[in-house]
Amino acid sequence: RGGPKNLPIAEVLVDDDDCPENSRQKHKPKLVILGSGWGSVAILKTLNPEDYHVTVVSPVNYFLFTPMLPSATVGTLELRSLVEPIRLIVSRAKGHFLKAEAVDVELSEKLLEVAQTNAQGEECHFYLPYDKLVLGVGATTNPHGVKGLENCHFLKDIEDARLIRNKVMQNLEQACMPTTSDEERRRLLSFVVSGGGPTGVEFAAELFDMLNEDLGRSFPKILRNEISVHVIQSRGHILNTYDEALSKFAEARFAHDQVEVLTNSRVKEVQKDKILFSQKDENGETVTKELPMGFCLWSTGVAQTELCKRIANKIEVQTNKHALETDTHLRLNGAPLGSVYAIGDCSTVQNNVADHLVHFLRSMAWEKGKDPEKMEITFPEWRDVAQRVKKRFPQASDHLRRLDKLFEQYDKDQNGTLAFGELHELLLQIDSKLTSLPATAQRAHQQGQYLGRKLNKLAQAAPGMTANEVDYGDLDEAVYKAFEYHHLGSLAYIGNSAVFDFNGLSFSGGLMAVYLWRSVYFAQSVSLRTRILLAMDWSKRALFGRDMMN
Ligand code: FAD
Ligand code: MG
Ligand code: MG
Ligand code: MG
Ligand code: MG
């Protein structure tokens, strides 16, 4: 026992002497990885086995292929096809796995506090010592302080998808009861999605496809006319972090499919049978409305987990309310150097966007052979700058929608060009709005891969090191470059045709898009097992339609 809370310390794990390899690893530096999601799995797939004594701690013993989760809610894919046993992945990396939840970290003692429920059903805590700790715990759903969220469904985990599937089926069955009134039937068949981001939009599209393609075959035809799907979005557009063309395409698609999109609307309260929201009309006046509903999905962005909040509270320099801040080497700011890293949705990299932007401007002036301070930027040039900014910082797209408006607004002297100072101010304004990299699997995967490669280098740089001897200090900088995010395009699935955004090359609609979308995800998919399961699900659906049952 020991540490600040005098808990048992897990110096040895059950399988430390399982085989000669494990015995050899026992004295290697202890690498503890939290979470079994995109970030953590990417590390495990990159790490050289045997350089570290690796332990993965996660409350779930599977990896979830989240981009396909919306498809599982309506039976396009089977739930089982989207998960992969984490123990398989861990054992390939010659690591150890503990199905438990990390609850706290003692940063100076390098002890991780872990909670687990024992055979008697009691919660017990212990310390797991580490030399290096990686936080890859993801994020939780953001409640935005709205009342009545117990009446909503969420879509984060496999269990959520199961609950949604059951609820949708239950509503359809209830709608067929002779005792159900017409009004009640319409309510049961009113599906509301709160949040116009990719998850909400994909779910709405999947739901709509299912209702259109499979409902008529097994349910009374009359239901089709009474079904309604609504998307409530606080901003002016759905998919507002994507390219404007893509969000327009999605909106047009929904308009055609009669999926109602309520923009500039904020949910006030969710009751058992209706949802209350306020909507800004064209004159900027706010009116309160209500919508009867039989099902509500809450998908309005992410918030910090309890563990991350606790860690942020312990460290003075961690002041960001949304995520843990790291330096460009992904080291947690304020923790002993080289001992704690944070990746994926739980983290954000402090990247001086403003510096990059000024650099952009200077190189642009240089290309034109002009003095940057005296440069006057015309509208086409400004469009070019904006394009480059969007490419480098995709999360800026939302702030660069109305290029003409911005130009007008910052052209203070109204001479039709932006002076260097005017442009600089504009970019600074955008910089202040950019807080983080996008919360995507793509980013988590890149960060995990980066960290895996760096950990391999570190092991080479300090060979033969054993646990407790290691003081990495600022070795990170010496052995490996800083993390750089590469935006590979965002994908959203809109009603049987994908919306595709690849490095500014927008591409949307049609069957081609569907295949493109599927092949991209096949390639990203982690194992042959998953690939085969998904292919079987798709073929089954193509041949027989979706299973309309719980
Ligand atoms: P996660 O993958 O969320 O993993 C976090 C892990 O930490 C989990 O295993 C969790 O159980 C574990 N954990 C939590 N708390 C603790 C604790 N205290 N101790 C130990 N372990 C803990 N991104 C895309 O790029 N493209 C998409 O199409 C896309 N679609 C999505 C659809 C849905 C429905 C959802 C929910 C997300 C989607 N995303 C998509 C986002 C993507 O899933 C996330 O950005 C990604 O999962 C982040 O990876 P991560 O490793 O940070 O966290
Ligand atoms: Mg993870
Ligand atoms: Mg996951
Ligand atoms: Mg703090
Ligand atoms: Mg001017």
CA of 317 to the centre of ligand 4 (A): 6
Instruction: Flag whether 526 is in a domain.
Output: no
Once rounded to an integer, what is the mean pLDDT over residues 444-449? 94
Residue-averaged pLDDT of the chain: 86
pLDDT of residue 484: 83
Contacts of 168-172 spanning 24+ positions with Cβ under 8 A: 168/73, 168/74, 168/207, 168/295, 169/548, 169/549, 169/550, 170/550, 171/294, 171/295, 172/215, 172/219, 172/223, 172/548
Residue nearest to atom 45 of ligand 1 (CA): 440
CA of 376 to the centre of ligand 3 (A): 48
Specify the range with the lowest mean pLDDT, choosing from 69-73, 149-153, 244-248, 432-436.
Answer: 432-436
Once rounded to an integer, what is the mean pLDDT over residues 505-531? 67
Model ipTM value: 0.96
CA of 36 to the centre of ligand 3 (A): 6
- Which residues hold their Cβ within 5 A of ligand 4, which is an ion? 312, 318
Say if residue 5's pLDDT is above 70.
yes
Domain boundary among 234, 267, 301: 301
Who has greater pLDDT, 508 or 542? 542
pLDDT of residue 43: 96
Instruction: Flag whether 6 is in a domain.
Output: no
Q: What is the rounded distance in angstroms from the CA atom of residue 381 to the CA atom of residue 377?
A: 6
Same domain, 310 and 391: no
Contacting residues for 311 by C-beta, under 8 A, at least 6 apart? 105, 135, 318, 324, 332
Say if residue 523's pLDDT is above 70.
no
Say if residue 174's pLDDT is above 70.
yes
pLDDT in tens, 67-77: 889 888 988 88
- Which residues hold their Cβ within 5 A of ligand 2, which is an ion? 35, 37, 39-40, 136
Specify the range with the lowest mean pLDDT, choosing from 35-49, 119-133, 263-277, 489-503.
Answer: 489-503
Who has greater pLDDT, 539 or 509? 539
Say if residue 511's pLDDT is above 60.
no
Once rounded to an integer, what is the mean pLDDT over residues 122-137? 96
pLDDT of residue 140: 93
Closest-lying ligand 1 atom to the alpha carbon of residue 448: 51
pLDDT in tens, 225-278: 899 999 999 988 898 877 677 788 888 889 988 899 999 999 999 999 999 999
Same domain, 274 and 410: no
**Which of these, 98, 104, 102, 115, lies nearest to 4 by C-alpha position?**
104
The count of structural domains within the chain is 3
Q: How far apart, in Å, do the first and last CA atoms of the chain sit?
A: 48
Residue nearest to atom 2 of ligand 1 (CA): 37
Domain boundary among 269, 301, 333: 301
- Percent of the chain at pLDDT above 70? 88
Confidence of residue 94 (pLDDT cuts 50, 70, 90): very high
Once rounded to an integer, what is the mean pLDDT over residues 52-66? 95
Once rounded to an integer, what is the mean pLDDT over residues 513-537? 72
pLDDT of residue 497: 62
CA of 446 to the centre of ligand 3 (A): 15
Instruction: Flag whether 461 is in a domain.
Output: yes
Who has greater pLDDT, 392 or 310? 310
Instruction: Flag whether 501 is in a domain.
Output: no
Same domain, 106 and 181: no
- Residue 183's CATH number: 3.50.50.100
CA of 545 to the centre of ligand 2 (A): 34
Instruction: Flag whether 480 is in a domain.
Output: no
Same domain, 185 and 297: yes
Once rounded to an integer, what is the mean pLDDT over residues 17-33? 89
Same domain, 266 and 182: yes
Say if residue 390's pLDDT is above 80.
no
DSSP single-letter state for residue 79:
G
pLDDT of residue 507: 61
Residues composing the chain: 550
Say if residue 435's pLDDT is above 60.
no
Same domain, 411 and 444: no
Name residues contacting ligand 1 (CB within 6 A): 34-40, 57-60, 66-67, 69-70, 101-102, 136-138, 155-156, 198-199, 305, 307, 344-346, 439-442, 444, 491
Backbone angles phi and psi of 296, in degrees to 5: -135, 125
Domain boundary among 382, 411, 433: 433
Instruction: Flag whether 486 is in a domain.
Output: no
Once rounded to an integer, what is the mean pLDDT over residues 364-381? 80
Closest-lying ligand 1 atom to the alpha carbon of residue 307: 18
Q: Is 366 exposed, middle or buried (0-12, 13-18, 19+ CB in 10 A)?
A: exposed
Domain containing 38: what range?
20-139+304-350+439-473
Same domain, 184 and 271: yes
Q: What is the rounded distance in angstroms from the CA atom of residue 410 to the CA atom of residue 544?
A: 58
pLDDT of residue 489: 67
Say if residue 32's pLDDT is above 70.
yes
**Which of these, 59, 51, 131, 63, lies nearest to 95 by C-alpha position?**
51
Instruction: Flag whether 4 is in a domain.
Output: no
Same domain, 166 and 134: no
- Residue 371's CATH number: 1.10.238
Once rounded to an integer, what is the mean pLDDT over residues 296-321? 93
Same domain, 241 and 377: no
Q: What is the rounded distance in angstroms from the CA atom of residue 335 to the CA atom of residue 326?
A: 10
Same domain, 381 and 341: no
Who has greater pLDDT, 485 or 434? 485
Pocket test for ligand 1, best of 32, 34, 38 (most atoms within 8 A of CB): 38
Who has greater pLDDT, 205 or 390? 205
**Which of these, 235, 245, 172, lies nearest to 200 by C-alpha position?**
235
Who has greater pLDDT, 517 or 283? 283
Once rounded to an integer, what is the mean pLDDT over residues 83-88? 94
Same domain, 183 and 195: yes
pLDDT in tens, 404-413: 888 888 888 8
Once rounded to an integer, what is the mean pLDDT over residues 116-126? 93
Once rounded to an integer, what is the mean pLDDT over residues 325-338? 92
CA of 64 to the centre of ligand 3 (A): 5
Instruction: Flag whether 343 is in a domain.
Output: yes
Same domain, 287 and 319: no
